[in-house]
Chains A and B, each alone.
Chain A
């Protein structure tokens, strides 16, 4: 049981780290602000989500697990908002908020 938990945790965290790596490469390599944001959101949402999923299997108990999920949900909420705000400012012809 613990072996299965550890395996799933390692796989999920590694997958999350891969998304972070891909997001960072995109942030550095993509040509304009909108594409860079597109790359970043993958790291923020999916990468962090997978890392949290992996850590859930190692959490000390339900309160710790709930805290981890809360961190992910808060990051989703603020990340999506900030991305939208930056994108509206960066996009030509769009009235800035």
Chain B
């Protein structure tokens, strides 16, 4: 697991070297940080409930098959590199040429929010489905309860102190990453991850009580982003060329209208995914 996180961070460095800071940010925040956190949570929960399985040695046949597969993958990659098309096929010039029509300064954000907006919409819906899947792991009597472990605030604890110091700074950084996404590397997914991390920190330190998942406002917050996205998308039929098309003069405004609730929704989804299924019910 530590290897997975370290691998993700090294991969982020590779993306920076390849002049793709947007991908690097996403890899560091989502691929390495948040997924690593989810894996750590899953493994501690598994360790609590299951006896550790005896480590079994791989048989000679399995080893040979694995070696064969490794050779095959390496040979395939080598062949691709050797037989690479020259010049490499690219849509980058077209993407940059139409940039002015979207009112954005960052071509990556233009791809995510304008040219391929439907991909982004589906990603958010997948996140929502994943969260519903995690929630449904709870037993019936705990449905709608408090997710995750109970954390009590202790003013003398180090974690409380750091959370009080770090969360405001982190929220500022998250909003900054979201906002500069229109002109520089950044965007709603990366900003939302930082916001979600700050929420998780505040919950772990006991500064904020994790809300019960039956709360109406929480459900509304979760669907606000996708709902606005779909609404604007459908409005595209009336005011522009079709689903998820923006009229050129309002493109930037509409993208911001979508992105603000989307960022908040994604942040809430990610934080609740890490918090996990409900394990407590409020006593009245």
Residues of chain A having any CB pair with chain B under 8 Å: 74, 77-78, 81, 84-85, 97
Contacts and interface: CB of A to CB of B under 8 A. Distances in A.
Interface stretch (B14-22, B112-120, B156-164, B185-193): B156-164
B270 to A, nearest CB: 19
Given A85-B158, A97-B158, A97-B159, 13 more contacts: A74-B166, A74-B169, A77-B162, A77-B165, A77-B166, A78-B162, A78-B166, A81-B158, A81-B159, A81-B162, A84-B158, A85-B159, A97-B157
Interface of B: 157-159, 162, 165-166, 169
A19 to B, nearest CB: 18
A81 B162 CA distance: 7
Contacts of B166: 74, 77-78
A42 to B, nearest CB: 18
A90 B278 CA distance: 29
Nearest to A81: B162
Contacts, number: 16
A63 to B, nearest CB: 12
B147 to A, nearest CB: 21
7 contacts: A74-B169, A77-B162, A77-B165, A77-B166, A81-B159, A85-B159, A97-B158
A84 B159 CA distance: 10
Contacts of B162: 77-78, 81
Contacts of A81: 158-159, 162
Contacts of B169: 74
A13 to B, nearest CB: 15
A43 B162 CA distance: 21
A23 B158 CA distance: 24
Contacts of B165: 77
Nearest to A82: B162
B12 to A, nearest CB: 14
Closest A-B pairs by Cβ, 9 of them:
A81-B162, A84-B158, A81-B158, A97-B157, A77-B162, A77-B166, A77-B165, A97-B159, A85-B159
B45 to A, nearest CB: 17
Contacts of A77: 162, 165-166
Nearest to B170: A74
A74 B198 CA distance: 14
A51 B210 CA distance: 39
Nearest to A73: B169
A77 B168 CA distance: 14
